[in-house]
Amino acid sequence: MRFTSERRIDDGVGERAFTLGEIPGILWTPGSASAPAPLILLGHPGGLPAMYPRLVARARSCAAEGFAAATIELPWSGDRPRSAAAEQARADLRRALEAGEPVDDEIIDRLVLPLVDRAVPEWRATLDALLALPGIGGPVGYAGGVIGIGIRLAVVEPRIAAALLFAGSFVPRTLFEEARQVTVPLQVLLQWDDEGNDRQMALDLFDAFGSREKTLHANMGGHTGVPQFEGDAGNRFFARHLR
Amino acid sequence: MRFTSERRIDDGVGERAFTLGEIPGILWTPGSASAPAPLILLGHPGGLPAMYPRLVARARSCAAEGFAAATIELPWSGDRPRSAAAEQARADLRRALEAGEPVDDEIIDRLVLPLVDRAVPEWRATLDALLALPGIGGPVGYAGGVIGIGIRLAVVEPRIAAALLFAGSFVPRTLFEEARQVTVPLQVLLQWDDEGNDRQMALDLFDAFGSREKTLHANMGGHTGVPQFEGDAGNRFFARHLR
């Protein structure tokens, strides 16, 4: 892990850009911390430069609660090399959605599975590097982003102690099965009128998670309309499980 | 409104028993308040003496946030005179449930509609009396209890500014229609594995509410298994809307 820039943003929050091999990422740390800060991994749908405003807002909210936060670029997104297969899968998805057709399982598999297969080990390697830094401690939470990555991480990465997931469709059947193996506490956000997500499938996925403690927060509005107060609710969820 | 007893419980919370005509009730007020305290009406399924431990716990949590809380006995429950028709409807419900039969709409109507018709004016009269007391101010929230009463109150009582409802089945069709007229902010609690409630019907009812801000909190477990942290989430919901 190599730090490429460092600055202070509001409230004394430290922001450090890094690269881990070819993967760019950002680490935010609270202005003052007496003990190692629990770490929250911020997932997102890819494209760090475009996602930055939302991520930094979330990271500042985490820092206000004493949590460190970190994110990395997804494979084949942002400034990382493209994949012809991933581009093809995205184009096929777009075509199906624009035509108003049901999206074929085969397209979802091509879109999500290689991404999860590649991204999860990258997140784990990032975790190794982050937890070796002074001031960053376990336990670790995962918040948001591509739900498939969150599911797989929660299953295979024992350092993830709690996960806040954004309900989404486009969940391959195989990840649906992996959801049954998730046992960490979960908070799942569902936008009730999400134009791009099937409500019943999101409810079925919530039902499938194996966790004994899981809470669904369903709110009105479309995909990007998550109410501001859910940021606070997410922090309280992590405070219960990461302290 | 006649106060029949007064005492201090933990944290300086004041507890006053009262009667309003034949209706017994309890008012809890925070130990210290600089301004009139917003009031939260605590609904329950009837039988104040048996419900007291849960209600006083909820009231203390409200008082810790600076809210007053109040409850009254339901018609035909606790120490109030019985109704032969209500007893018959309860017996018919019990028989259907014990036989594992689907509960007929006609039984639900007989069970819930007269109760809502009678209880809602009683709650409103109680509200008149409570809001005339020094130290109790609007706006007012309604929390929990029989969902039918919460729906009707939210529709007809303009002083109700927000409602925290416990999702339940046994909602008469006519109250389902009234739910569409509810416009105040709502937080709805659903126990995912509630043995006495139909999950799909609870989701349909959530969908039906007309409120632009409505949030569903679904948690694992049966009817009485609402997690402790939902008390905190309820207070935060009311703090957003009653201050």
Helix, strand, or coil here: B90?
helix
pLDDT for the residue numbered A11: 83
pLDDT for the residue numbered A170: 83
Domain boundaries along the sequence of chain A: 2-81+120-242
Provide the residue type at A226 as one letter: V
CB contact under 8 A, A236 and B229: yes
pLDDT for the residue numbered A134: 92
Helix, strand, or coil here: A44?
coil
CB contact under 8 A, A229 and B240: yes
DSSP H helical ranges for chain B: 48-64, 84-98, 105-131, 147-156, 173-179, 199-208, 229-242
CB A92 within 8 A of CB A102: no
pLDDT for the residue numbered A192: 95
CATH-assigned architecture of domain B2-81+116-242: 3-Layer(aba) Sandwich (3.40)
pLDDT for the residue numbered B194: 87
Cα separations in angstroms, B13 against A159, B43, B230: 43, 19, 21
Please list, residue by residue across B104-127, b when 16 or more beta carbons sit within 10 angstroms of its beta carbon and e when fewer do: eeebbbbbbbbbbeebbebbeebb
Give mean pLDDT, residues B153-174.
92
Helix, strand, or coil here: B239?
helix
pLDDT for the residue numbered B71: 98
Q: Which residues of chain A register pLDDT less than 70?
A: 145
Cα separations in angstroms, A135 against A27, A28, A36: 12, 11, 4
CA distance A124 to A119: 9
Give mean pLDDT, residues B109-114.
95
Overall CATH class of domain A2-81+120-242:
alpha beta
| Minimal Cβ distance to A218: which of B216, B220, B236 | B216
CA distance A84 to A86: 6
pLDDT for the residue numbered A44: 93
Most B CBs within 10 Å, among A190, A206, A229, A232, to test the B interface: A229
Phi, psi of B167 (to 5 degrees): -60, 135
What does pLDDT average to over chain B?
93
Q: Is the torsion defined by CA of B43, B47, B49, B50 positive or negative?
A: negative
Helix, strand, or coil here: A163?
strand
Which of the four pLDDT bands, split at 50, 70 and 90, describes residue B56?
A: very high
CA distance A111 to A87: 9
Strands A23-29 and A14-20: antiparallel
CA distance A238 to A144: 13
As for the ipTM of the complex, it is 0.87
Give mean pLDDT, residues B158-176.
91
* Chain A residues within 8 A of B203 when measuring between CB atoms: 203
CB B31 within 8 A of CB B11: yes
| Minimal Cβ distance to A214: which of B207, B220, B229 | B220
pLDDT for the residue numbered A35: 85
Give the burial class of A189: count Cβ atoms within 10 A of its Cβ; 0-12 exposed, 13-18 middle, 19 or more buried: buried
Whether A239 has its CB under 8 Å from any CB of chain B: the answer is no
Over residues B187-239, the pLDDT tens digits come to 999 999 988 788 999 999 999 999 999 999 999 988 888 999 999 999 999 99
- Extract the tokens encoding B126: 């109680």
Whether A183 has its CB under 8 Å from any CB of chain B: the answer is no
